[in-house]
Amino acid sequence: MIGKSSFFAGLPLDACRELAAVVRIRSLPRRVLLFSEAQAGSEVFLLLAGAIQLHKTSPDGSETVIRVVRPGEVFAEVVLFERAEYPVTARALRPSAVAALPCRRVRALLDRPAFRDAFIAAMLRRQRYLAERVRELTAYDVEQRFLRFLAGHYGKRIEVSVDLTKKDIAAAIGATPETFSRLIKRMESAGGFQWRGRRIAIAPEVWAGAES
């Protein structure tokens, strides 16, 4: 799992094995916090299964979702170098499992040139991801962001079984629950789209329209 993650992609096999030897596997029930904003951070996490929501809390108590982490993605890596506390809160949106990597062990591996070079390359890939995330929020309308979210998490299928709430999905695509509710009604009225319970039916022409 470490070697297949985008964050550690390109690391030598022996380095991946060393990381795997020191991880601690944690299971999280739905809605349980993994860590809180401003909490002292000593571990970086790799999501093995489930979905983790990362959000920040404003002074008035409102939450802004940064992203929803998918299996195979690393998160909370900021505590490796930039700061001693987690900058966001991480909550399991559904039953999840994570591999916790101690920061001190990762830093020790950075003394090795091969590991360090591959790690820097991973940092550059993450920077490109964040730039793409900003572009997505500004370049696509809410329907396109919704369909791109479904495609990224479940694949482009004519029937999708969702395990996240509408509120969680709305937050993940940068929409208010009210805006998201209106979107669903509009898409159902237009045809080719139907959401019943946990199942969403999406016609091929709806997927095609999202790409135009």
Which pLDDT tens digit goes with each residue over 59-79? 887 788 888 998 989 999 889
Report field, pTM of the whole predicted structure over 0.85: no
75: tokens are 């998160």
Task: Label residue 138 by pLDDT band (50, 70, 90).
Answer: low
Determine contact, residues 86/37, Cβ cutoff 8 Å. Answer: yes
Compute the distance between CA of residue 28 and CA of residue 160 in angstroms, rounded to an integer: 24
Note whether 5 and 72 are within 8 A (CB): yes
pLDDT confidence of residue 86: 93
Cα–Cα dist 55/162, whole Å:
21
Same topology, domains 13-137 and 140-211? Answer is no
Q: Does 134 score more than 80 pLDDT?
A: no
Structural class in CATH, domain 140-211? mainly alpha
Mean pLDDT across the chain, nearest whole number?
86
Span 121-139, average pLDDT: 66
Q: Which fold has domain 13-137?
A: Jelly Rolls (2.60.120)
Burial 155-191 (b: 16+ CB within 10 A, else e): ebeeebebebeeebbbbbbbbeeeebeebbeebeeee
Return the percentage of the chain with pLDDT > 70, whole number. Answer: 90
**Cα 166 from chain centre:** 16
Q: How far apart are CA 2 and CA 16, in angstroms?
A: 6
Q: Is 60 exposed, middle or buried, given 0-12, 13-18 or 19+ CB atoms closer than 10 A?
A: exposed
Boundaries of every domain in the chain? 13-137, 140-211
